[in-house]
A = this chain, B = another copy of it.
Amino acid sequence: MNIGEAAAASGVSAKMIRYYETIGLIAAPGRTAAGYRVYGENDLHTLRFIRRARDLGFSVEQMGELLALWRDRSRASADVKRLAERHIAALDRKAEQLLEMSRTLRRLVHECHGDRRSACPILDDLAESADEGDDRRRLVSTITSQFGDRGR
């Protein structure tokens, strides 16, 4: 099976399959005399595994860990569980951040008439409430030299 067929059968694009190969996530497959990559059933399993993990939001690095655990017959399921739980926590954290932004924005939108007049609490808030907290300011000036400040 060549790369296009493997892509269609796994749901991972040919482009990404080659990429995963270059970064060492998957092994280099055999080649035909003409240089075409040749994939077999095992490769397909791996690719499907990868697509599924990717759909669950795992990073390439985490997929590497998962693949290693998958192939390791002697690993304890606790290892897998730990990885999954950490990922769940990260997903929830990110989601919560987004929802927090959404709530804030929703509050502002609620106060905005949204008519043809120009008064707009949304912009007013963006313009003014931006310098909340002197701690932050002090913190920033003290810290930014040594740590990257991403202010979140």
Residues of A within 8 A of B (CB): 1, 5, 7-11, 13, 27, 29-30, 38-46, 48-49, 51-53, 55-57, 66, 69-70, 73-78, 80-82, 84-85, 87-88, 91-92, 94-96, 98-99, 101-102, 104-106, 108-109, 112-120, 122-123, 125-127, 129-131, 133, 136-137, 139-141, 143-144, 147-152
Contact = CB atoms under 8 A, between A and B. Distances in A.
A113 B80 CA distance: 10
Contacts of A98: 57, 91-92, 94-95, 98
B81 A143 contact: no
A152 B26 CA distance: 10
Q: Is the interface of A mostly helix, strand, loop or mixed?
A: helix
A74 B120 CA distance: 12
Q: Which one of A69, A80, A139 has the highest number of Cβ atoms from chain B below 10 Å of its Cβ?
A: A80
